[in-house]
Amino acid sequence: MSFLNAIKEIVFWEKDDDFFDKEATIKEYFAVCPPEQRRSVNSYEELYAEALKYVSKQSFAENTKDQENYFYEMNKTDASVAILTGVFAYVIARETDKNGKKLEKGIDKLLPKDFDKNSPFDTRTGLKHRNFGHDIFSFGLERIPNDYQIYAGKMDRHNLYLPIGEVLEKEGDCSMLDLIWLYYGKDKPLLKGIFSCAGHTVVHFAKDLLTSEGVPLPFSSLLNEYIIEEDELEQSGLENKFNEKIDKVKGNLKASDFTSLAFIEGMCKLYAHSKSLGEKEKSFNRDIKIIAMSACIMIQMSSLLIGEEKKLINPKKGNPTMIPGIPGAKMNMVMASAMFKNMVQEMTVVVKARHEVNVEYDLRLKQLKEGR
């Protein structure tokens, strides 16, 4: 019941007029009472009681009735719309994850046969292969050691691994971009090669975003630890402790991160515009986006906790059986970043407006006193 009461307080809040009157009274007290005459107090209520000894109770609404409203005051309907937007965003994230394989196959059907087969992105096989060259923001950086073993084909039914520098015929550290150029651009005219590499890269990342593993967070590959293996039949190792921690909360980038965020951005913008608030629209749009994003993130994290992926051992066959987690259950790092950005922007505007309100409030009080 406490959880439901908390939700009720968030959605159906009431403006506390008494609090604003107390704030106005305390502000008046600080204005008229010299610092040396102010008594030390231990609580907010004691401060208010002390203020009433020097000034009469102030009405915030009366003192500010002629002041401009800097922000639109959100009502219960607005809050409900924002939270429902967050709920539907989670549903969209869930459906995106749930249908990821179908969407991935759909991309393949739109492309020429085997367009993405034997991709350079898959020259590291098995577990943790996404840590190798799948960082969208840094796959072009030369961070891979020259003697790092990558998959180079088959030899007597065994995987053959060769140093990446030998494959590329290059000295010094290498990058995934070097491999991409070798596969898709080296034997083509420059411009055609560039477009070919770009097309294959976009397609591969788009498909990987639809998988349950997703792709690593931006620049996380800079923390890769490359473990060199000299045996041609053994693959070099790769460790990334940061990504291992992110994997536990399903924090990798996925298509569902972007579809859910796009839904919130679009719906909140439409709703804010429908209110015809003029200059207050931007601030109101940020406010409802923060609420919607918070709701979506809370549901995704809750789903992650109650629907964690589990491994069960079949008692008859002895083989492990994976029970998948709930689709859409993850730490949505993309949305969390967008929410933080909106919060910083809104707080910047609030601090600026607060200063302007205080200056104008003092001026109004002075005018009221002079008019008595």
Q: Identify which has the larger pLDDT, 348 or 12.
A: 348
Confidence of residue 1 (pLDDT cuts 50, 70, 90): very low
Q: Are residues 347 and 353 in contact, defined by beta-carbon separation less than 8 angstroms?
A: no
Q: Which of 255-259, 278-282, 317-321, 345-349 has the lowest mean pLDDT?
A: 317-321
Q: What is the pLDDT of residue 365?
A: 62
Instruction: Map tokens 């070097």 to a residue.
Output: 178
pLDDT digits (tens, 9 = 90+) for 7-37: 445 544 555 667 878 888 888 888 788 888 8
**pLDDT above 50: residue 92:** yes
* Rounded Cα–Cα distance for residues 147 and 172 (Å): 9
Extended beta strands in 19-169, E state: 149-155, 158-163
Percent above pLDDT 90 for the chain: 43
Per the CB < 8 A criterion, the answer to whether 260 and 88 are in contact is no
SS3 per residue for 59-78 = CHHHHCCCCCCCCCCCCHHH
Among 40-54, 253-267, 271-285, name the one with the lowest average pLDDT.
40-54
- Residue 289 or 305, more confident: 289
Above 80 in pLDDT, residue 316?
no
**pLDDT per position as a tens digit, 129-151:** 888 989 988 998 888 999 998 88
Mean pLDDT, residues 288-297: 95
Q: What is the mean pLDDT of the chain?
A: 84
The model's pLDDT over 197-254, given as tens digits with 9 standing for 90+, comes to: 999 999 999 999 998 889 999 999 999 999 887 766 677 888 999 999 998 888 999 9
pLDDT digits (tens, 9 = 90+) for 59-74: 777 766 666 666 778 8
Give the DSSP H/E element, type plus range, for residue 339. helix 333-371
Helices 17-32, 333-371: axis angle to 10 degrees equals: 60
Report residue 3's pLDDT band, with 50, 70 and 90 as the boundaries.
very low
309 compared with 161, residue with greater pLDDT = 161
Question: In the structure, what pLDDT confidence band is assigned to residue 4 with cuts at 50, 70 and 90?
Answer: very low
* pLDDT over threshold 90, residue 336: yes
CA atoms of 194 and 211, how far apart (whole Å):
26
